[in-house]
Structure 1
Amino acid sequence: MAKEKDTGRKLIAQNKKARHDYHILDTYECGLVLMGTEVKSLRLGRASLVDGFVQIDGGEAWLHNIHVPEYVQGTWTNHSAKRKRKLLMHRAEIDKLESKSGETGHTIVPLALYFKGGRVKVEIALAKGKKEYDKRQTLREKQDLRETNRAISAARRRQRSA
C-alpha cells in the first residue's frame, strides 16, 4: 500500500515583526532550494527570518539573510548559515513580484518557514512599509479588541453565575 504523505503544515519559524512593520498586500507560497544539512537543521526547528528579504535578480527570486544554523553533526559538507537561497516560483509570479516591488515603498519579506508534505516551504509577502503612527494605531486597535473581549467574557461569566 502506498503511504500518504503528511499534508499538515509544521511551522519552523515565523516573522511576527514583518506583520507589525508592514502592510501585507499579497502572499505567496514558495519552495526553497536547500542543501541536505540545511533540511536536517530545519527539522530540529532552528531558523530565524528576522532580517530576511527577497530580491529578484536575473528573473530568479533569491531569499537573503535567513539564518539557518549549521547542522551540529554535519561534516565538511555543512552549509554556511546566512547564504542566499533560491526560491522556486512560477515565472508569472516572479514577473508580477518584480514589477510590484519596483514601486516606491514596496518590498518582499518572508512571513513563515514550514514543512508541508515533507518539503520546506516559505510564505513570502509583497508588503508596503508602515509609518510610525500606523504602527501605534495597529497596537491601539489590538489593545482595544483585547479589552472588549475581556469585558464580554467577564459579563458572560457573571451571567452564568447569577
Structure 2
Amino acid sequence: MFPCLALPALLVLSPARAASAAQGAPTPASVAAAIQADGAAQALGALDDADTFDTVTDGIAAADPAWLALVPAMGPGLDSDSGPAVAAALALALPQKPRLVLPLLDAATPALDPARVCAHPFMHDEVPDLKGYVRRTRAALRGVRDEGLRGVRDRCLAALGTAKSVP
C-alpha cells in the first residue's frame, strides 16, 4: 500500500507546470511562468515530454510577438532536440518580422546563432520553395535600417548568402 501512496508524491508538479497542464496547450504566459519557476531546461523538457513543444515553435514560426519574447529566456534550456526546432522556427519568422527576430539572435547560444538561424536550418519540407524563402528573407532583411540591428542583419545576410541548399 505504501508504494501506491508514494507514486503520486513523485508526480507532483511545480505550481507553474500544474497550471500549464490544467490549461491544456501551453500559452506564452504559462511557458514564461514555467521557465521562471523551474528554469528553462526543465520547463522546455516538460513541454517536450507532454508533446506540446510544437505549440511553442509554431508560435515562434508565426512571428507571434508573445512567443518571440520568450526566446531569450528559453536560450539556456535549448538542447540538441529543442535547439534545432527553435532555430528553424526563428528562420521561418525572420522574413515576416525581421525587426523582432534579429534582436533575439545571439552567437553565444548555438541555437540562436545568426550563422545557424539565417542559414535556413530547416528539417524535411518546412519550406517547399526554398529559393522563394531566401528571396523573401533577403528582401525583408535589407528593409531593416535600424542602426542597432545593422551588425546582426549583416551577419544574417552573409549566412543566408552562403547557406547550402537542404536536400
Is the TM value for this pair above 0.5? no
Ranked by relative contact order (alpha carbons within 8 Å, sequence separation 6 or more), the top structure is: 1
Task: Output the TM-score relative to the length of structure 1.
Answer: 0.22
TM-score by length of 2: 0.22
* Higher-helix-fraction structure: 2
Select the structure that is richer in strand. 1
Larger of the two Rg values belongs to structure: 1
